[in-house]
Amino acid sequence: MPSYAPAFNRILDDLAKRQLRLDFQFGTASNIYEPLRSIGAGAFGIVSEAKVSNTYENDGENVAIKKIGHASSTPTLARRTLREVRVLRYIRHPNIVVLKDVFRTSGSLGMNVFMVMELMEGSLHNVIHGAEEPLEWDLIAHLLHQILRGLRYIHKAGIAHRDLKPSNLLVNSDGHLRIADFGMAKLATGTNFDEADEHCFYMTQHIATLPYRAPELLFVMPEHSTAVDMYAVGCIFAEMILRRELFPGRSVSSQIKIVLTNLGTPSKEMINDIQCERTKQFIQSFGSQTPLSWEQIVLVRDRKPNFDALEMISQLCQMDPSDRMNVNESFEHIFIKTYFPKTTTERVCPFKVKLDMAAVEDIDHKQLINLIEADIRSADELPQQQTNEIISSDETQEIATSIEDDNDNNNSINHKSSTSGASSAASYYSMTSSSESQAESCYDPTHSLYDADRRSPRRQKNHQSELESSEVPPQITAL
């Protein structure tokens, strides 16, 4: 009996290519960007790898293009689009994703917005769930430190990310991590819950982020701060240790139950602040819950416990946000100090970001559409011969050299297994196809964009300088 598998595979490949062309219609920008393959999808956008035209100065590297379809069709989607664009266009930090360009096209249900970003090799989700062996403590500390540095930068501007999770933390095989997906980012002080994306029933649509959702968001309390990000960091920290989600709820009700079972009953003050009556009644129906110990919550069977790590997680995942460790305090914790004893300094996040974020929160749908048209140029306006990147290569190089002070920290990291470091580190980033199937929305873990023979001479020089000045431990830079 003849095999029809090759024919079916060709048909499926053709359908995938056709769908990619339909999803990523760039208009006149097609002369610049050519979509190659789909590499991710989420609730509010899809991502493809794209090739940049040779006539467009680009150093020969591919990019990732995130499409937000019908971005102007609803106030919520328009506001989220503006939030992400307005945050990323001013930010210059080595641990936050690089926005290279942004443009819009017309669609049947409103404007489509395309965000051109640096292409990363994988996500922290791949690293956690693709490794066959537990992650070493120095690698965990290295990744955690980069997350905290990126957060310190935006928290100084009063901005909360609000959707931190492993699949939104992008990594390269050299260990470099960048925070991505700022569509939920918001000014943290005095934020009310009256917007549609804070409604308790709407929350059920965000099942993927429930395991990292802070109690004040989960319970729909009227105000929240940057503490919501610190809670998520604690959950991610624990997940790097456990290689499973710390609080794996799959619905709002199950997530609340898991949080109450582990962290205990919230205070009367917290319960009184809950604005969703249905949520309040549900919490009260559990009665008084005694919290578990953190040795019970972060139960590790295949490795010796690290009590400094447990103590830090306990401070990050406090039920009451006022009791939670903030980002500045996190750098003083003994777990971080053990690996990074020298205090690092950060650039100041431009105040313009805060002003721009505030401007999109209290305006109507028509005004949001006008802002999208004003902020984001049409594809017809893109230069056809020369790049007009939002973040230039020189600025990226300046970012890389701004963290040279961390070299002393790198040298002070205690590598007990130096002889086997390279081989063990390789297992951390053996991002196989099995981990792809587990990923929620992440980049192709088998694709290596950064082979030296695929870089231009100038990009090779910049890339090497960034590696030399970054906080990457030796066994990771050896990959």
User: Which domains, ranges and CATH numbers included, belong to the chain?
Assistant: 5-120+352-391 (3.30.200.20), 122-339 (1.10.510.10)
Highest mean pLDDT: which of 51-65, 352-366, 421-435?
A: 352-366
**Cα distance between residue 462 and residue 464, in whole Å:** 6
Predicted model pTM = 0.77
Residue pair 208/245 in contact by the 8 Å Cβ criterion: no
Distance set, CA 472 to CA 141, 306, 376, 404, 419 (Å) = 11, 22, 35, 11, 17
Q: For residue 203, what pLDDT is reported?
A: 44
pLDDT digits (tens, 9 = 90+) for 216-270: 999 988 777 899 999 999 999 999 999 999 999 989 999 999 999 999 999 999 9
**CA 46, CA 113: separation in Å to the nearest integer?**
11
Residue 105 pLDDT > 70, yes or no? yes
**Which tokens belong to 180?**
């991505």
State the sign of the Cα–Cα–Cα–Cα dihedral 371, 374, 375, 376: positive
Separation between Cα atoms, residue 244 and residue 438, nearest integer Å:
11
Q: Which of 171, 178, 179 is nearest to 450 (CA)?
A: 171
Two structure tokens written together for 298: 């972060």
List 13, 59, 138, 163, catalytic entry? 163
- What is the C-alpha separation between 143 and 166, in angstroms, rounded? 11
Residue 273 near residue 176 (C-beta atoms within 8 A) = no
Greatest mean pLDDT among 25-34, 180-189, 348-357, 362-371 lies in 362-371
163 is catalytic: yes
pLDDT at 387 over 70: no
What is the Cα–Cα distance from 247 to 478, expressed in whole angstroms?
34
Q: Is 250 left (phi over 0), alpha (psi -120 to 50) or beta?
A: alpha
pLDDT at 388 over 60: no
Distance in angstroms (rounded) separating the CA atoms of residues 225 and 213: 13
Report how far residue 41's alpha carbon sits from residue 266's, in angstroms, rounded to the nearest whole number: 35
How crowded is the C-beta side of 356, counted as CA atoms within 13 Å? 23
Residue 350, pLDDT > 60, answer yes
Q: CB-based burial of residue 208 (10 Å sphere; 0-12 exposed, 13-18 middle, 19+ buried)?
A: middle
What integer pLDDT is reported at residue 61 of this predicted model? 82
Confidence of residue 438 (pLDDT cuts 50, 70, 90): very low
**Alpha carbons 112 and 71: distance in angstroms, whole number:** 6
Check residue 189 and give its pLDDT.
Answer: 60
- Identify the DSSP state of 38: E
**Average pLDDT of the segment spanning 458-471:** 41
Does 202 have pLDDT greater than 70? no
pLDDT beyond 80 at 346:
no
DSSP 35: E
At what angle are helices 365-375 and 75-88 packed, to 10 degrees?
Answer: 30
pLDDT tens for each residue of 284-324 = 999 999 999 999 999 887 788 899 999 999 999 999 999 99
Q: Is 257 known as a binding-site position?
A: no
